[in-house]
Chain A
Amino acid sequence: MDMSVKKKLGLKEKYALMTRNLGWEPSYEKREDVYPLLDYEGIKIHDWDTWEDPFRLTMDSYWKYQAEKERKLYAIIDAFNQNNGHLNVTDARYINAMKVFLSAVPALEYNAHRGFARLGRHMGGVGPQVACQMQAIDEMRHCQTQIHSISNYNRFYNGIHDWKHMNDRLWYLSVPKSFFEDACTCGPFEFIIAIGFSFEYVLTNLVFVPFVSGAAYNGDMGTMTFGFSAQSDEARHMTLGLEVIKFMLEQDPANLPIVQKWIDKWTWRGVRLLTIVAMMMDYMLPKRVMSWKEAWEIYFEENGMSLFKDLARYGIKVPDCVEQIKKEKDHLSHQAWTTFYAAAPMTNFHTWIPSDDELDWLSAKYPDTFDKYYRPRFEFFREQAEKGERFVNPNLPQLCQVCQIPMLFTEPDDPTQIAYRQSEHDGEKYHFCSDHCQHIFDNEPEKYVEAWLPVHQILQGNCFAEGDDPSAPDFDPIASVMKYWHLENGRDNGDFAGSEDEKNFAAWRGMTTSNT
C-alpha cells in the first residue's frame, strides 16, 4: 500500500504560514480603527507587505531556542549560587556596580517588554508584529533573570532589598525610569527608533561591555552568563531596529525629517543615560575592561560612524550632539563619580576614593584632563576623610527637566563652568543641562512639564515617610525621605571602607580560604 506522507514544511513555507498568513484584512471594521496609532506621528507607510523579516523566526522555533537558553542559564546560575560564586569576585567593591545595575535595569527591561508588547499589537503588518512580540517576550525574560540575580546578591549585601520601591522613588533612578517612560509614551514608530535603534543598536555595545565583560573580568560568572544569554537576543533586537528604520525611510521621503529628529533626540537621551555606565567602567570595576573614553571611541566613533555612513544613502545625518559627546568623553565619568561620592547619603550603594594605582590608571587613560582637573579633587576628598571630615554635599541638587540628572555637566569647552540652559513655557521656567536636552524640551514642552522630578517632589512634601508629621517640632526631613526610600543611611550607602559589606565579604572569603 502506498502511504502518502506529507513533506515536512520548508523554512520559507513555515515562515509564510506561521507569520504572514496569520494576518487578515478587516472586513467589518475600518483598518484605522483596528490600528489607531499608525498615523498620528506623521509616518507614512504605503505597503506593509514589503517588510522583510531578516530572521524569519517562527514562534515554534523561538520557544525551542529560548527554552534551551533558559535551561543552560539557570544551570549555571544555580551552580554559581551553590558554590557561593559571589565570593569569587575580584573585590567586594565590584558588587556596588551590580547594585547600580540591578537597581536600574530590570525595570528598564520590563518597560521594554511593555513597549514591544504594545507594538506587537499596533504595528500595521504581521512581519513586524511577530518580531515585536518575540522581543516583548525576550525583554520579560531578561527582567526575570535579573530579578533572580538580585535575590542572589541581596541575600548577602546591602542596598538592593527593595529595588522596585526604590526604582520608583530614588533620585538617581528617576533617570533611567523617566528615559523609558518617555519612550513608552511615544507613538509606536518613535518608540522603536528610541529603543530598537538608538539604544539597542547605536549604543548597545557601550552598555554591554561594562556589564558583561566587566562581570567576566571581575569573576562574576552568574552575571556574565546572564549577559551572554541576553546578548544572543540582542542580535535579533538590533536587526529589528535597523530593519524598521530602513523600512520607514524606504516607504516615503516625508519620513526622513521625522526619523532624523527621533535619532537626534534618542541618541542624546541614550548617551546621557550612559553617564552612569561611564562611571562604572572607570571607577566601579576593580579590574577595568577599558576606559569609558576608549569604549566610546571604539563603539561609537568607529563602529557607530560606519552605521551612519550606511544610512547616509537614505539621507540620515550623524546627530549634532556627537560633537558635544566627543568633548565630554574626557570628563563624564569623573564628574559623575565625584557627584556620587559627595551625594553619598542619598544613594543605595557604596562609594570610595580610587586607590593610588587606580588614580594612576585614570591619569594614563585621561592624559589631557585627569591630573589637571580631577586628581586634585580626589586628593582633597582623601585629605578630608583622613582628617575625619569626610566630604558630603547634603543639599538637594537642581535637576535637568529632561534627562533628570543633577545639573553637573560642564560647558563643552570649559570644564570649570556648569552648563545652564533655560526655557520658558506657559509662564513657567524650565532648566536644562545642555543644548540638546533644551531642544528636546522645546520640541515637546507639554510632555516634559509633567516630569516627576524627585527633588521638586521632595520639596513639595510628597516624599516623606508615611505617618511622619512635617509640622512636628522635631521633624527631620532628610531622615524622613530616607525612610520613604527604604534606605538606612550608613548601612546601605556611604563609604565602602568600614561598611558591613566590606566586613562580611572579608569574613566569608576568609572562611573559604582558611580554617579559622
Chain B
Amino acid sequence: MSVQSIRPFKAAAKDVAANFHGQQVVYFCWDQHLMFYAPVAKLLPPDITFQAVIDTELTPTYSRHPDFARIDWAAVQWFKDGEAFTPVLDTSLAGNGITHKTAVHFKTPGLNGLNGNGF
C-alpha cells in the first residue's frame, strides 16, 4: 500500500546517506544492558575498521558498565540487522557489509547486566 494524497508526490527521504557529508549513521546496541536505555546512533566514516569502532566508539560508550571490563571479545556474538555475523576486525565497516543505517547488536554470553537482569 502507499500513501493517499490529493495529488501525486515524490517523497523526499530525509536521511539518505548523501545528507551525512560522506559519513554514515550506524546504530549499536549492547543487548541486555539497558543502563544505556536505547541503541546509540554513531556518525562514522565508512572506511573506519571494526576494531577502531570497538576501541574509539564502543569502549567510551559502554565502559562505565561494570560488565564491560569483563567482556571476552573473542566470545562476543555479533548481529547485523538481526542476522548473526562475524566481523573481520581489521576490515572497514564497508568491508564488513555495514552500510548507512545498519543496526549492529552484540551479546556478551554470561554478562547479562547487573545481577544478570538486563540492566
Contact = CB atoms under 8 A, between A and B. Distances in A.
A170 interface: no
A456 B103 contact: no
13 contacts: A373-B118, A395-B61, A399-B41, A408-B37, A410-B34, A422-B81, A431-B27, A446-B3, A447-B3, A449-B13, A449-B14, A450-B11, A460-B21
Most buried by A among B15, B27, B61: B15
Interface residues of A, number: 55
A416 B114 contact: no
A396 B115 CA distance: 26
Interface of A: 36-37, 40-42, 187, 335, 338-339, 342-343, 372-373, 376-377, 380, 391, 393, 395-399, 406-408, 410, 415-418, 420, 422, 425-426, 428-431, 442-447, 449-453, 455-456, 459-461
Contacts of A417: 31-32, 118
B103 A443 contact: no
B119 A376 contact: yes
A417 B4 CA distance: 35
Given A376-B117, A453-B15, A416 B37 contact: no
Contacts, number: 151
Contact of A373 (B16, B103, B112, B117): B117
B74 interface: no
A450 to B, nearest CB: 6
A36 B6 contact: yes
Contact of B118 (A395, A416, A452, A453): A416
A157 B35 CA distance: 30
B103 to A, nearest CB: 6
Contacts of A425: 13
B37 A342 contact: yes
Contact of B37 (A343, A430, A445): A343
B25 interface: yes
Contacts of B75: none
A343 to B, nearest CB: 7
A84 B35 CA distance: 40
B69 interface: no
